[in-house]
Amino acid sequence: MQKQIIEKFVQSVADKIAGDWVIIGGSLLPLLGIDSRFTEDIDIAAGREATQSDLLKLMEIAVELGLPVESVNQAASFFLYRIPNWEKDLVLLYQGKAGRIFRPNATLYLLLKIERLTETDLLDCGSMIHYASLRGESIDLDRLLPKIRAEIARSPDFPKGYRLSRLLHLLSEKNTT
């Protein structure tokens, strides 16, 4: 999905649907100017006040832009809501006529990826760490490192355990530069 389509979607949501929304996952990266990979969907989480009608409007906006309804992925809300005090880690991305679009700060972005941490997630984490480093955005290692280590203990298998170790390495590189 191209950056222009994601931008149009974000602007339409903020202009047409009241409330707060959070863009997460790989669809956030192009909005930040990170052209690291192709994404098939737009990961968007609704604020807790969103109604079923609001969620259906997301699909209508996608169709208006020529996207299939499946391109709007709300599963991200599940992961977002599981993180305590996630609302404190949001950065305003776009203020529209009706609503606001936020993004997770770098710490929250990484927290959202840790539990699953596919190879693509690891690439996204590396891109976000680099982005944060270039822009002076802090990353809260006190929150991240225990979560990563706990996940390593739960998932010591080679593929995921290795990726988690790589994430630790990326964070240690960021911390020493």
Residues 113-151 have pLDDT tens digits of 999 999 999 999 999 999 999 999 999 999 999 999 999
Is the same domain home to 121 and 99?
no
Is the same domain home to 13 and 47?
yes
Domain that holds residue 58: 3-104
Number of Cβ atoms within 10 Å of the Cβ of 17:
22
pLDDT at residue 36, as a whole number? 67
Is the same domain home to 130 and 169?
yes
Q: Is the pLDDT of residue 76 over 90?
A: no
pTM score above 0.75:
yes
By the 10 Å C-beta count (0-12 exposed, 13-18 middle, 19+ buried), 14 is classed as buried
pLDDT at residue 150, as a whole number? 94
Question: Amino acid letter at 143?
Answer: R
Is the same domain home to 89 and 8?
yes
> What's the structural domain count of the chain?
2
CA dist list (Å): 162 to 15, 114, 139, 140, 146: 43, 12, 21, 22, 16
Is the same domain home to 98 and 117?
no
Which of 51, 86, 104 is where one domain is finished?
104
Is the same domain home to 10 and 81?
yes
pLDDT at residue 177, as a whole number? 45
Is the same domain home to 41 and 82?
yes
Is the same domain home to 162 and 142?
yes
